[in-house]
C-alpha cells in the first residue's frame, strides 16, 4: 500500500500516553487528507503498553505495531521505525507528547518546499528540572565542539525525513547509535523549525542519568576520534615538560645547586601520569568494545511481532 506519511513513536512503558497520542496524531493527520500510518514501536514495555497498542490497532487501521522481544533502547526503537515505515516522508516523535503532533503540518510544509530533513528545534522546555535542562544544553554544545558533524543544537529526534534520507539511514547499521547525528551526517537539504517542547503528558522520564551518559558516549565515539587523540596531546605535553626539565636538573646538579627534595613531587607526577594513562586506556576500551560489538554482527533488535513490510 502506498503511504504518504509515516509517523513513528518509540514506546517504553507509556501506557497512559497511548490513547492521547493516537487521538492527537489522528486528529492532525485527518486534516491533511493524505494516506498515513502510525508505527508504534514497543521497546519491551512491561506496564501493559503492549496490550494497549493492540487494542488501539484494532480500532484504528492506521496503527502498525512493532513489538520488540525486550528493551533495546530509544535509539534502536527509532531505527526499527525507519525500517518498518513505508511513507514518502517519515516523522519521528516521542510517545509522551513532549513533541506536539500539532507541529507536524509545519514540518510537512517545509518538506513540500523541497527540504529533505526538517528538524524541530526546542526553543523552550517546559516541565523539566534545571538539571535536565543544563545537562542537555551542555551535551548539545560539547557534541558540537568535538564531533566532525555539525549537529544542530537543541534538536532531539523530533523530525521529518524524506524517503531518500530514510533509505540511506536504513543502510547504516552501526550498533551504538546516535540517530540525530546520523541524520545530520547524511547531508541533504536540511532546515530547522522552532517549537516549544511541552511537558510530559503522563508518566515519568525513561531517561535516567545513566542512559543520558550512554547516549552522550555514543554520540562522541560515533562521530569523533577526539578522546583517542587526547592521549597523544597529553603525551606531547608531558614529554615536552620532561625535555625542558632534564637539562635544568642536570645543570643545577653540576653547579652544585641542589639536592632536590622530590618525594612529594615524584608521587604527584606518578599519580598524575598514572591517572592520565588509565583514562586513556579506558577511552581505548570504549572504542575497542564498540569494535567488538560491530564484529559480532548481532541483529540490532529482535521483534516478537511486526507487520509485513
Ligand atoms: N523510550 C524508548 N526506550 C527506552 C527509553 C525511552 O523507546 O529505553 C521512548 C519513550 O517511551 C519516549 C521517548 O523514548 O517515547 C523519549 O523518552 P523520555 O520521554 O523518557 O525521555 P526525555 O523526554 O525525558 O528525555
Ligand atoms: Mg520525554
Tens digits of residue pLDDT in 244-292? 988 888 888 888 766 666 777 788 888 888 998 999 999 999 999 999 9
pTM for the whole structure: 0.84
Residue 135 Cβ < 6 Å to ligand 1: no
Q: What phi, psi does 68 have (nearest 5°)?
A: -75, 155
Q: Give, for ligand 1, the residue of 7, 9, 10 to mutate: max count of ligand atoms closer than 8 Å to Cβ.
A: 10
Q: pLDDT-based confidence at 309, cuts 50/70/90? A: low
Residue 157 Cβ < 6 Å to ligand 1: no
User: What is the predicted pLDDT for the residue at 101?
Assistant: 93
Q: What is the dihedral of CA 214, 216, 222, 226, to 10 degrees?
A: -120
Segment 222-233 shows an average pLDDT of: 88
Closest by Cα among 93, 10, 9, 13 to 49: 13
User: What is the predicted pLDDT for the residue at 260?
Assistant: 66
Distance set, CA 26 to CA 3, 166, 224 (Å): 15, 23, 40
- The span from the CA of 84 to the CA of 90, in Å, is 10
Please identify which residue in the block is written with the cell numbers 494516506. Answer: 35
- The span from the CA of 71 to the CA of 44, in Å, is 4
Exposure string over 48-72, b if 16+ CB within 10 A, otherwise e: ebbebbeebbeeeebbbbbbbeebb
User: What is the predicted pLDDT for the residue at 258?
Assistant: 65
Closest by Cα among 182, 79, 161, 16 to 66: 79
Residue 46 Cβ < 6 Å to ligand 1: no
- The span from the CA of 40 to the CA of 23, in Å, is 13
User: What is the predicted pLDDT for the residue at 78?
Assistant: 95
Specify whether the CB–CB gap between 238 and 196 falls below 8 A. no
Residue 94 Cβ < 6 Å to ligand 1: yes
Q: What is the dihedral of CA 303, 304, 308, 309, to 10 degrees?
A: -10
3-state secondary structure of 176: coil
Segment 224-247 shows an average pLDDT of: 89
Show Cβ contacts of residue 155 under 8 Å, excluding neighbours closer than 6 positions. 119, 120, 121, 122, 140, 180, 192
Q: Which atom of ligand 1 is nearest to the CA of 9?
A: 15
For residue range 161-209, list pLDDT tens digits in order: 999 999 999 999 999 988 888 988 898 999 999 988 888 888 888 888 8
Closest by Cα among 39, 202, 193 to 102: 193
Amino acid at each position: 500500500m502506498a503511504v504518504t506519511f509515516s509517523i513513528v513513536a518509540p514506546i517504553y512503558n507509556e501506557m497512559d500516553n497511548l490513547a492521547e497520542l493516537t487521538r492527537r496524531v489522528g486528529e492532525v493527520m485527518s486534516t491533511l487528507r493524505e494516506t498515513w500510518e502510525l508505527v508504534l514501536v514497543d521497546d519491551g514495555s512491561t506496564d501493559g503498553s503492549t496490550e494497549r497498542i493492540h487494542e488501539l490497532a484494532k480500532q484504528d487501521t492506521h496503527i502498525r505495531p512493532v513489538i520488540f522481544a525486550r528493551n533495546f533502547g530509544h535509539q534502536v526503537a527509532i531505527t526499527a521505525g525507519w525500517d518498518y515505515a513505508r511513507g514518502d516522508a517519515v516523522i519521528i516523535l516521542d510517545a509522551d507528547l513532549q513533541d506536539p503532533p500539532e507541529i507536524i503540518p509545519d514540518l510537512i510544509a517545509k518538506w513540500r518546499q523541497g527540504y529533505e530533513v526538517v528538524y524541530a528545534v526546542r526553543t523552550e522546555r517546559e516541565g523539566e528540572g534545571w538539571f535536565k535542562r543544563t545537562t542537555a544544553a551542555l551535551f548539545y554544545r560539547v557534541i558540537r565542539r568535538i564531533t566532525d558533524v555539525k549537529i544542530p543544537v537543541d534538536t532531539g529526534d523530533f523530525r521529518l525525513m524524506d524517503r531518500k534520507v530514510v533509505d540511506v539511514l536504513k543502510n547504516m547499521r552501526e550498533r551504538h547509535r546516535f540517530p540525530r547525528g546520523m541524520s545530520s551526517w547524511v547531508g541533504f537539504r536540511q532546515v530547522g523549525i522552532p517549537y516549544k517542547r511541552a511537558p510530559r503528558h503522563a508518566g515519568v522520564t525513561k531517561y535516567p542519568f545513566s542512559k543520558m551518559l550512554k547516549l552522550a558516549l555514543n554520540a562522541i565515539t560515533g562521530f569523533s576520534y577526539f578522546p583517542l587523540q587526547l592521549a597523544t596531546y597529553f603525551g606531547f605535553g608531558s614529554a615536552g615538560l620532561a625535555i625542558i626539565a632534564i637539562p635544568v636538573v642536570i645543570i643545577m646538579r653540576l653547579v652544585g645547586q641542589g639536592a632536590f627534595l622530590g618525594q612529594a613531587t615524584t608521587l604527584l607526577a606518578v599519580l598524575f601520569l598514572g591517572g592520565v594513562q588509565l583514562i586513556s586506556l579506558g577511552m581505548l576500551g570504549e572504542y575497542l568494545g564498540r569494535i567488538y560489538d560491530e564484529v559480532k554482527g548481532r541483529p540490532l533488535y529482535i521483534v516478537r511481532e511486526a507487520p509485513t513490510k
